[in-house]
């Protein structure tokens, strides 16, 4: 049986409704993955995650390698036990940290050397050990190491990163030994369509279990992001899942689904929640706003999350303004549910051939 099945193709766009099968269960796509970088989604329990509608979450290889360490994760029974999450998990390879921690890294054709942001110790990731670490962590979907580049770099440097990403993907596939884990490759190339085409075509030849689009949401405009996504998705195998990494805002997700993307992850629901920013269908609500001081309404009328069923905007504003940790938790609970409600609506619209009207 195939790992990925397309259940329905939208008649008006490239959007598709799918089912991704993993060792820890099935994921209905398009899907949004909450981010639990170091083994936990900040401020949120696994029960709250499940209640939000999440069916798959993300953790990060680099951060787990530093703390608590691969040996500790193994001794506790693997990543699912550590996170108390019995559904699918995807681990990123650490390639994004080459971008986000660029001042602490050195990269060459062999791999990436990090000066740990925790204690300064040298940490080395290459194509092979990034796979072996993820094999040991035990995630359901693991990623090839790639070189994620900053926005606006020159073409020669971008081309070198693409060549490196392809070589590392070839090495990663050879190193991957676990038949229970799906391995995804990552297409790089910035906004350069020629390099995106080259990278996608070379990776498609290697027949990975899925394909990610990396190197976006790093400073480019929404229009340029979607132009690049639209170009890239059409180059990837139609029968494999497509994952847009680190995205994003609801407007980005809707446009990318129309272009044929199946999977997303982003820290926005919880990061923005911790900063008193709530997503609603009618636009954002700033929860520290003095206009909410006596507001008895929930963050969003009609939302079925625990936060909206039990707390008023005024109460949540109070929690934020007096430093009670319940404020950020409640806002994060709402935002996570908002994203899963959005994805459920997207899936239904695709099934009804109505997504093009969104």
Are 284 and 277 in contact by the 8 Å Cβ rule? The answer is: yes
92 is annotated as an active-site residue: yes
Is the Cβ–Cβ distance between 163 and 202 less than 8 Å? no
Q: Which of 47, 38, 44, 43 is nearest to 82 (CA)?
A: 38
Catalytic residue among 10, 92, 146, 209: 92
Taking alpha carbons only, the member of 64, 37, 225, 55 closest to residue 140 is 55
| Cβ–Cβ under 8 Å, residues 39 and 79 | yes
By the 10 Å C-beta count (0-12 exposed, 13-18 middle, 19+ buried), 251 is classed as exposed
140 is catalytic: no
Instruction: From the candidates 3, 262, 265, 304, give the one annotated as an active-site residue.
Output: 265
Partners of 29 in the β-ladder: 18
Q: Nearest CA to 21 among 147, 190, 210, 159?
A: 210
Dihedral angle sign, alpha carbons of residues 261, 336, 26, 171: positive
Give helix 250-258 / helix 222-233 axis angle, nearest 10°: 30
Mapped onto helix, strand or coil, the DSSP state of residue 264 is strand
Which residues are the active-site residues?
92, 265
């Amino acid at each position: 049986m195939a790992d990925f099945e397309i259940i329905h193709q939208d008649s008006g766009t490239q959007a598709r409704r799918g089912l991704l099968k993993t060792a820890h269960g099935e994921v209905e796509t398009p899907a949004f993955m909450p981010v639990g970088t170091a083994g936990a989604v900040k401020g949120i329990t696994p029960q709250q995650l499940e209640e939000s509608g999440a069916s798959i979450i993300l953790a990060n290889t680099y951060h787990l390698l530093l703390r608590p360490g691969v040996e500790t994760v193994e001794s506790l029974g693997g990543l699912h036990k550590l996170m108390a999450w019995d559904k699918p998990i995807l681990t990123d390879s650490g390639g994004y940290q080459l971008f986000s921690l660029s001042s602490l890294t050195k990269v060459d054709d062999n791999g990436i050397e990090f000066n740990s942001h925790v204690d300064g110790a040298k940490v080395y990731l290459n194509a092979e050990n990034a796979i072996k670490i993820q094999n040991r962590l035990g995630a359901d979907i693991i990623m090839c190491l790639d070189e994620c580049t900053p926005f606006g770099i020159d073409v020669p440097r971008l081309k070198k990163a693409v060549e490196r990403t392809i070589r590392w993907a070839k090495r990663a596939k050879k190193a991957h030994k676990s038949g229970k884990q799906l391995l995804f490759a990552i297409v790089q190339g910035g906004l350069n369509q020629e390099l995106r085409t080259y990278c996608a075509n070379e990776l498609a030849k290697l027949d990975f279990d899925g394909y990610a689009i990396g190197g976006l949401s790093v400073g480019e405009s929404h229009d340029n992001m979607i132009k690049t996504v639209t170009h890239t998705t059409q180059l990837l195998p139609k029968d494999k899942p497509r994952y847009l990494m680190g995205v994003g805002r609801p407007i980005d997700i809707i446009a990318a689904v129309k272009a044929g993307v199946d999977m997303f992850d982003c820290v926005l629901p919880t990061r923005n929640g911790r900063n008193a920013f709530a997503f609603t269908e009618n636009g954002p609500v700033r929860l520290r706003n003095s206009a909410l001081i006596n507001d008895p309404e929930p963050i969003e009328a009609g939302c079925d999350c625990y936060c909206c069923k039990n707390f008023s905007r005024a109460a949540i504003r109070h929690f934020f303004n007096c430093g009670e940790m319940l404020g950020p938790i409640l806002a994060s609970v709402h935002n996570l549910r908002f994203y899963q409600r959005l994805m459920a609506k997207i899936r239904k619209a695709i099934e009804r051939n109505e997504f093009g009207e969104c």
